[in-house]
Structure 1
């Protein structure tokens, strides 16, 4: 499966069961990469894609239900239980540190290799770094 997620500079993902931030340019990039294919996500995540041209596959457990090769947008850990099923990871890194009580639980260096990285301007973030990792 191909997983999309957002983290801050310290790999924070969420605070008090809420996403740290969001950006419509990131959503547009996810949709461009999806190219019309369904994207697995939770009901919470689906709300931010409601007005987009997304094809959501809504589930309370998208990492468990997504099949091989499927796209999955994740806002909350844990990812480790699904590690063996993750083929590719597309990570959007905010250029700041937000309050967090949930962090990315994967050791990217030992499980993946970085294949590309680029910076772009978002709508609500001056700089966002997109990192693509593969097994």
Structure 2
């Protein structure tokens, strides 16, 4: 399974139960990662209607073995995954939830790109 998550400079991903930010260029990159992106209703709400055909939306979106899941609220502490895609905002935001890259994962690639509302977003891929 592949997990996708967006983090700020301090590994934060939520503030008060909400995402820290969103960016349309980042969403395009997310949709390029797999034929289907699994997510919950909250995450799906940031995508345009024509992009939603590439989403599997449901409460069971983490119940997969080989899928690609975009996490903004879900608890992945008990989920087994072998690939992690982190989109770094390269900014600091207020945060109430943080995500630490698990031990055993190593960075295998990095790509910087210009976002719509962010001058620089970094996509970093980690594998076990």
TM-fit CA distance, 1:61: 4.4
Q: Tell me how many residue pairs correspond in the alignment.
A: 127
Match of 2:119 in 1: 126
Unaligned runs of at least 5 residues, structure 1: none
Confirm or deny: 8 A CA contact 1:12 1:103 kept in the other structure: yes
Q: Which runs of 5+ in 2 are unaligned?
A: none
> 2:51 maps to what in 1?
53
* Residues 77 and 102, structure 1, Cα contact 8 Å, conserved in 2: no
| Alignment pair present for 1:112 and 2:105 | yes
How do 1:71-82 residues align onto structure 2 when only pairs under 5 Å count?
Answer: 71-76=68-73, 78-82=75-79
Larger fraction in helix = 1
Q: Return the alpha-carbon distance in structure 1 between the equivalents of residues 50 and 9 of structure 2.
A: 27
Structure 1, residues 33-66: CA drift from partner, whole Å, max 9, x if none? 22xx221101000111242434221122422x1x
Query: What's the CA shift string for 1:83-129, capped at 9, x where partnerless?
Result: xx21111100011110110111x444x23111001211100100111
Change (3 A) 1:111 1:77: farther
Query: TM-score if structure 1 supplies the norm length?
Result: 0.86
Please report the TM-score for the alignment, with normalisation by the length of structure 2: 0.91
Query: Is the 1:93–1:129 Cα contact (8 Å) retained in structure 2?
Result: yes
**Residue of structure 2 in register with 1:99 after alignment:** 94
> How big is the alpha-carbon RMSD for the aligned residues of Structure 1 and Structure 2?
1.5
Preserved CA contact (<8 Å) 1:23 1:125: yes
Partners of 1:44 and 1:52 in 2: CA distance: 17
Rounded to whole Å, the distance in 2 between the matches of 1:16 and 1:6 is 16
Q: Does 1:43 align with 2:41?
A: yes
